[in-house]
Structure 1
Amino acid sequence: MDEKIDDETFFEVSALLLSLNRKTLETFLNLKSFSPLMSTLTDEKVKNIDSLYSLQNSIIKHFDKHSSKNNIHHLHSAFNYLKEESLLDSLSYEKLISLFDPSLLNKKNRSEKESHVYENFHTDKKDILVTIEELKKLFSVSKKLDSIEEYLNSQTFSIGITGVMNAGKSTMLNALMGKEILGTSVVPETANLTVVKYSQTPSAKVLYWNEQEWGSIVKSARSIKAMSRYVSETENYFKDMLDEYILKETRVDDISIESLSEYTSANDKKSNLVKSVQLETSLEFLQEGIEIVDTPGLDDTVIQREQITKEYLSKCDVMLHLMNVSQSATLKDIEFIIDAVLYQNVSKVLIVITRVDMVSKEDVSEVIEYTKSSIARRLYEQNEDAKLDYILQTLHFIALSGKMALLHKTQKSQEAINAGYSLEQTGILEIEDYIKETLFGKKNSRSSLIIHSAKSRLKESINKELEALKYENSLLFKSEDEIDEELNELQTKKVKQQESFELLKQQISGYEVELSNYLTRLQIFLENELKSLQNVLRQRLIDETKYTLQKQKATPELKDIQRIIQSALKHGLMDIIREYRYKFVKKSTEISEIIRLQYDEIDEMKEGSFSAFEHQEIFAESYENGFLTSNYEVLLQRVSKLLGIASMKKLLNVDEELALIIKDEFISIESEIKVKAKTLSKELLNELILTINRPITELQEGLLESENMLNNHIKLLKENVNSKELKSLEIYEKIKNIELILQRYS
């Protein structure tokens, strides 16, 4: 970009491109001057919204790399010009100015320079925990050290295991864990979601569908034949006993691990009522803070299980998708992989080709190439081909013989060796290495962030303890009058600070109410946007139906209806959530900035003690996952059935009925989105309020500690000089040892 265009034009064209969106792009594409102007910036043609997004992304990366104040100033000037010429509305202008904020970019550059690469998460974690134990012997109060220790030990890393039935998920999991816990068979085994965690005391729990969830299943069964059979079969089997399992609140039963297969096997009807299973085991593989989510098959009859699977995947650090080498990639596989990367924000996907001991290496290579070409073809059908490179960069392929790997891991190595498979040749070690590198390697930003955060908190605690020890040492040889004078000053300061804090607490309470009320307004915003999305979806379907009836004398094909529904809903919902996120973060940031300024006016508030504003990025990232989990199969079936009998004469009636179907199916989508957004926002607001209040609590605790220390030293004055010398020496030794420990983190 730098070599191809002069500065002035570059900023103007960049600002224009960044100001475009889905609504305005069409207008600019129709201008004769648009393409020549774009050619001054790039050889790539801006022909649709995806190519625009791609170019906008490149421009943002460019400014991120060259974020000088001068560059940002030029860009801001261009945005101002567009606003003055009414080519950029006020809201879009604010967003763009906020995106290119010089202070935030500089802060980011500083943090990147200061960050460290942690090559081994577990080694760093162990070192910190050892340091904490050393410090506990030197600190007067270890409460803050305990919180850091708890933070480190509570961190878990989730692995999601997906695939169609008979893909070999349970066999691979058993091989990873080194013990045959989950059932394996040539028939479908794991019929529901199983979460496997580490515990020194093995145990298992089953969670059943509640009344609302079962009601949703029954409703879906009216439109989907396979689900209708599932519901009938379940009701006939359980009869009057159904009410014992399906309760208003989810029923949870403790079970023995030995009886686990009764609840997870597709061959046992009891599994029909089980939503998920939680298994805790003492297996070595899980000791590293790993949590495994074993999902039911993607081709599961119960579409609600797919929603639960997506819920868990949105929180997983890595996804392992298994495909049986003899079945190749099904359409369900391809759609699920695309959906996981594009809409569930899964950043790492390992595709495991299973049962490779049944075929040649050439066959495995063919399956991998077929999978890649199938992804490309499906993206092209969905008009998402611009995202192909991004998806393929996210995917990694490994061939596995789960059966042979399990033999090696369960002390039956000779049997596998006789079949021609060493442990290395099974592929299981390669999978283990991939998991560890992905979760704990130097490229994993989350594990690095955990270590960086723990070290920062540890350094802060050490510095505060050193400050307290040095202050205590300075008091040892002061006179009673001098200590009384300090005590009086402290009391005066305490009264003054208390007055300021009481006023600030009242203001914070007021802002808390304001933010809660703002959440209600955001719920109304969601409601209105979702109604607009219904109209967009209805209009696109009617337009497609009208077009095919007029041009082709036929009703729309199922694949076209599916493409329209999926595209409209996924893109539409993502746009709505992005706007919701922007509004929420903007409001939270405004209030935290006001509080920051008020803190700055209070004496004794140390720089950096309040960092709520810096939670902006964390708040924004929290809305990336877990919103697009609904299954649209029922909507698709109902719409396709209606449009299948459409004609030009009936089009008005079809339009009215279509609106009713969409409205009915949107009830659950709207409920799901609103509940998730409200729950997440409340959690984040609680975190913000805690962060805002934390400096008050910390300073009050500090004043109380200083007061207690002064009172204790008044008592020490009555002791002889030798005891004071010994006390001073003890404090000095502590300071020296703590400073030596601090040097490790400098």
Structure 2
Amino acid sequence: MQKNDVLSALWGVELLRVDYAGQVVCDAHSGSIVLCANESNIARLECLASFTSVLKSVAGGKDKYNIQSAQAGILNALENLKMPRNELILALSRLNEVGILDLKYLEVLKSFMLGLNYDELSSPSASNTSFKRSMGELNEIAKELSLLCDKSMGSRLQKAINSANNANFSLALSGVVNAGKSSLLNALIAQNLLGVSNIPQTAAICALKYSDEPYAKIEFFSTDEQGQLPKKELKDINISLDELPKYTAASSELAQYVKLCTLGINAEILSGIDIIDTPGIDDAIKAREELSANYLKSCDSLLYLMNAAQAASAKDMAFLRDIVLTSKNSEILVLLTHIDKLSEAERLSVLEYTQRSVLEELGELNEELAKNIKYFLVSAPANIGINELKAHLFASFFGESSKKASIILNAYKKELGLIAGTLFSEFESELRALNASGAKANDEISKLKAQASQLELALNDSEQKIANITNSLKDEKISTQNEISAISSKIADRVMNEVKYRSAKKQKADNDLLFAIANSAISDFLIDLFRDKRRILELKLESFALNLKELLNDFSFKMPDFKEYIGSKELKIEQESLKNAIKEALKSSDLSKNSSALKSALNEFLSSLDLEGQIISLLSECAKDFKNSLENSLKELKEHFASQNEKILEFLSKNEQKSADLSQNAKLCAQNLNKAKELKERLEKC
């Protein structure tokens, strides 16, 4: 069914000539109100204030042309996966139940929506993936630039190419037993691989990565990580897929020692996306549970599977609460699986119940995130909803609105621009030398030597200045007492929210979960604290970097993310001390006293962490990175000057060659100069 067929069924002879090319994107509730308008109910709807209000914001007015144009735009957005199909069907069904939308019109709209299979959008190489197109354009420019590069510049170009093209997105999967993860993974990779005898059958974490040739790598727990297991000294091993049962089958003695199983698979979806299948919850091995939690917290998108017949169970809700409390996922998708076993009415009922349950459970913790969770009805064996899910993932990762894709492309484009600019300057200098007399060529050499000398002085000067900056940090007075007090209150509020929630359900709060909430909150808030403090160093380095811009071809330095530093340096937090402090503070049955005691305990605990010293230590590391970045830039420029110097010396050694040869060299150099200029202009248009 086409879009014009839908509007013809809704409006009959009252259908106007509207534009079917535009898109209208809105929430499911507003979209259902616009779509429900038709020839039989329009007069009644125009009397409703709520209908008029929605039309004003979505359609721009309540005349029939605006309404029909908005309806065409919504249908177009549905085709391009800009609107949530299942939520929209559910919202329209509710309007039918209250008598606003007749059943025959509901069936027309449902027929169109359920007929969308998203085949064209469900491939990462689809033409609508702007990230792939842009990356292809930049790669083509990089390929042409490589023909102009010498060895030194070629090495720099190759680094840029590798960095941009190896920047993968991460997709983590989790769910309770029998949620259908293996079937879903088979559907995503378009191979009947997972869940068969030679694939991990234990709680081991399984990472799927792209590889032209299939392989498997088994990583084992160290003896320190093996906990209560009998100690075994095991070395990581690379094996074929056929050998996996020896290490991962439930009957294997070694299965319980497997920390991570990495599978290399030639599957289209893995080109740019790493898929991590995690146990997620209730892992008997503590080290594996922690590793799984780290994957779930840091992934770009999390897929949580619920069996539609048992959706929104207590275990499901506990998992989602923990994810919201302890991580900052960019996107959470809830997949209701095995829907082929349910009728259409049952599917909508399950979807509505799950949405309501999740919103009630998570709304008080993070209402915005709870409302933005997306829901998919899927059945891998019956191939229901798989293309829609794939299309959403590719749009989310590689589409125009993807922040991570934008960062990758902009960084790549900037580096290619700098390389093209440097080559342009080099060819200009070389062409001048080729067209000059021997004396002028000697002038060019003198100029290059002066620039090299200037670089040497800049390097010596920079080392002294950075040393002074680093030393001054030790004398910097960084007061954290006020911040600690505010952070303590915020962490206490998070913990008490969980305590009050359990109390309202007449349940005892789990001490381990309370500790996890507090521990995660400490990390989050301290990252924010350290980020604020880094401005002290930024102001000093910014001024210094500005003075270097002209000399170093727009030299710039991006301050590192303190989250990475904290992850690598690990704050010295005594875990048991924190656990005991929380447990002691919450021993009273009076929630008000507990809250006050918890704030005091957390304030005392944070004050003991020597945050001032740790902040200064991290700032010093940033200064060191700045120095290394500067030295690398200076080194690259010196190599380029040396290369140019060598070319001019070569010219001087052959200055008695025939003028025809000189003319030919000048012509080639001019061609290279024009090519570098052309590539610069193409980059500016990308």
Quickly say closer, same or farther: Cα 1:638–1:445, change in 2 above 3 A. Answer: closer
Aligned to 2:346: 363
2:271 maps to 1:284? no
- 5 Å matches for 1:302-701? 302-341=285-324, 343-379=326-362, 383-384=364-365, 387-393=366-372, 395-405=373-383, 426-509=384-467, 511=469, 557-559=507-509, 568-583=518-533, 585-599=534-548, 605=551, 609-612=554-557, 615-616=558-559, 619=561, 687-701=625-639
Quickly say closer, same or farther: Cα 1:253–1:292, change in 2 above 3 A. Answer: same
- 5 Å matches for 1:262-281? 262-266=246-250, 268-281=252-265
Moved more, 456-465 or 692-701: 692-701
Checking the alignment, whether the CA contact within 8 Å between 2:202 and 2:255 is kept in structure 1 is: no
CA distance in 1, matches of 2:200, 2:238: 24
In the comparison of the two structures, how many residue pairs are matched? 541
2:142 maps to 1:153? no
Aligned to 1:183: 195
Quickly say closer, same or farther: Cα 1:284–1:518, change in 2 above 3 A. Answer: farther
Counterpart amino acid of residue 270 in structure 1? L
Counterpart amino acid of residue 725 in structure 1? S
CA distance in 2, matches of 1:492, 1:625: 44
Counterpart amino acid of residue 353 in structure 2? Y
Checking the alignment, whether the CA contact within 8 Å between 1:577 and 1:623 is kept in structure 2 is: no
CA distance in 2, matches of 1:375, 1:184: 33
Which among 144, 153, 166 is matched to residue 134 of structure 1? Answer: 144
Quickly say closer, same or farther: Cα 1:188–1:359, change in 2 above 3 A. Answer: farther
Checking the alignment, whether the CA contact within 8 Å between 1:120 and 1:441 is kept in structure 2 is: yes
Checking the alignment, whether the CA contact within 8 Å between 1:171 and 1:184 is kept in structure 2 is: no
Checking the alignment, whether the CA contact within 8 Å between 1:592 and 1:692 is kept in structure 2 is: no
Identity %: 23
SS class of match (1:498): helix
CA distance in 1, matches of 2:475, 2:251: 50
Checking the alignment, whether the CA contact within 8 Å between 1:182 and 1:261 is kept in structure 2 is: no
Q: Alpha-carbon deviations, 1:48-83, whole Å to 9, x = none?
A: xxxxxxxxxxxxxxxxxxxxxxxxxxxxxxxxxxxx
Which among 130, 153, 161 is matched to residue 120 of structure 1? Answer: 130
CA distance in 2, matches of 1:157, 1:683: 28
2:660 maps to 1:722? yes
Checking the alignment, whether the CA contact within 8 Å between 1:166 and 1:324 is kept in structure 2 is: yes
Quickly say closer, same or farther: Cα 1:713–1:641, change in 2 above 3 A. Answer: closer
Checking the alignment, whether the CA contact within 8 Å between 2:527 and 2:563 is kept in structure 1 is: no
Which among 204, 223, 244 is matched to residue 233 of structure 2? Answer: 244
SS class of match (1:254): strand
Checking the alignment, whether the CA contact within 8 Å between 2:530 and 2:562 is kept in structure 1 is: no
Aligned to 1:199: 211
Aligned to 2:63: none
Aligned to 2:69: none
Q: Alpha-carbon deviations, 1:1-43, whole Å to 9, x = none?
A: xxxxxxxxxxxxxxxxxxxxxxxxxxxxxxxxxxxxxxxxxxx
CA shift for structure 1 position 404: 2.9
Quickly say closer, same or farther: Cα 1:159–1:633, change in 2 above 3 A. Answer: farther
RMSD, matched Cα: 4.8
Aligned to 2:18: none
Quickly say closer, same or farther: Cα 1:561–1:329, change in 2 above 3 A. Answer: same
CA distance in 1, matches of 2:459, 2:589: 71
CA shift for structure 1 position 486: 3.4
Counterpart amino acid of residue 369 in structure 1? E
SS class of match (2:259): strand
CA distance in 2, matches of 1:374, 1:453: 42
Quickly say closer, same or farther: Cα 1:599–1:539, change in 2 above 3 A. Answer: closer
Q: Any stretches of 5+ residues in structure 2 without a counterpart?
A: 1-127
Q: Alpha-carbon deviations, 1:458-500, whole Å to 9, x = none?
A: 1221122122112111111322222223333433443344233
CA shift for structure 1 position 173: 0.6
CA distance in 1, matches of 2:358, 2:475: 42
Counterpart amino acid of residue 715 in structure 1? S
Counterpart amino acid of residue 430 in structure 2? E
CA distance in 1, matches of 2:589, 2:526: 33
CA shift for structure 1 position 194: 1.0
CA shift for structure 1 position 681: 7.8
Checking the alignment, whether the CA contact within 8 Å between 1:207 and 1:253 is kept in structure 2 is: yes
Quickly say closer, same or farther: Cα 1:266–1:670, change in 2 above 3 A. Answer: farther
CA distance in 1, matches of 2:609, 2:191: 43
Checking the alignment, whether the CA contact within 8 Å between 2:222 and 2:233 is kept in structure 1 is: no
CA shift for structure 1 position 574: 2.6
Quickly say closer, same or farther: Cα 1:314–1:684, change in 2 above 3 A. Answer: farther
CA distance in 2, matches of 1:263, 1:361: 42
Checking the alignment, whether the CA contact within 8 Å between 1:194 and 1:277 is kept in structure 2 is: yes
CA distance in 2, matches of 1:474, 1:567: 66
Quickly say closer, same or farther: Cα 1:327–1:695, change in 2 above 3 A. Answer: same
Bigger proportion of residues as helix: 1
CA distance in 2, matches of 1:331, 1:636: 25
Counterpart amino acid of residue 254 in structure 2? K
Counterpart amino acid of residue 333 in structure 1? D
Q: Alpha-carbon deviations, 1:542-590, whole Å to 9, x = none?
A: xx99xx9xxx9xxx9513878865665544443233212322x224413
Checking the alignment, whether the CA contact within 8 Å between 1:537 and 1:565 is kept in structure 2 is: no
CA distance in 2, matches of 1:438, 1:143: 33
**TM-score normalised per structure 1:** 0.62
Checking the alignment, whether the CA contact within 8 Å between 1:189 and 1:265 is kept in structure 2 is: yes
CA distance in 2, matches of 1:596, 1:159: 38
- 5 Å matches for 1:288-299? 288-299=271-282
Checking the alignment, whether the CA contact within 8 Å between 2:207 and 2:276 is kept in structure 1 is: yes
SS class of match (1:277): strand
CA shift for structure 1 position 619: 2.3
Q: Alpha-carbon deviations, 1:602-637, whole Å to 9, x = none?
A: xx515x62222xx24x62675899999x9x999999
Quickly say closer, same or farther: Cα 1:564–1:292, change in 2 above 3 A. Answer: closer
Aligned to 2:94: none
CA shift for structure 1 position 188: 10
CA distance in 2, matches of 1:682, 1:396: 42
CA shift for structure 1 position 122: 1.5
Q: Alpha-carbon deviations, 1:101-131, whole Å to 9, x = none?
A: xxxxxxxxxxxxxxxxx95212222222222
SS class of match (2:224): helix
Aligned to 2:223: 211
Checking the alignment, whether the CA contact within 8 Å between 1:195 and 1:294 is kept in structure 2 is: yes
SS class of match (1:729): helix
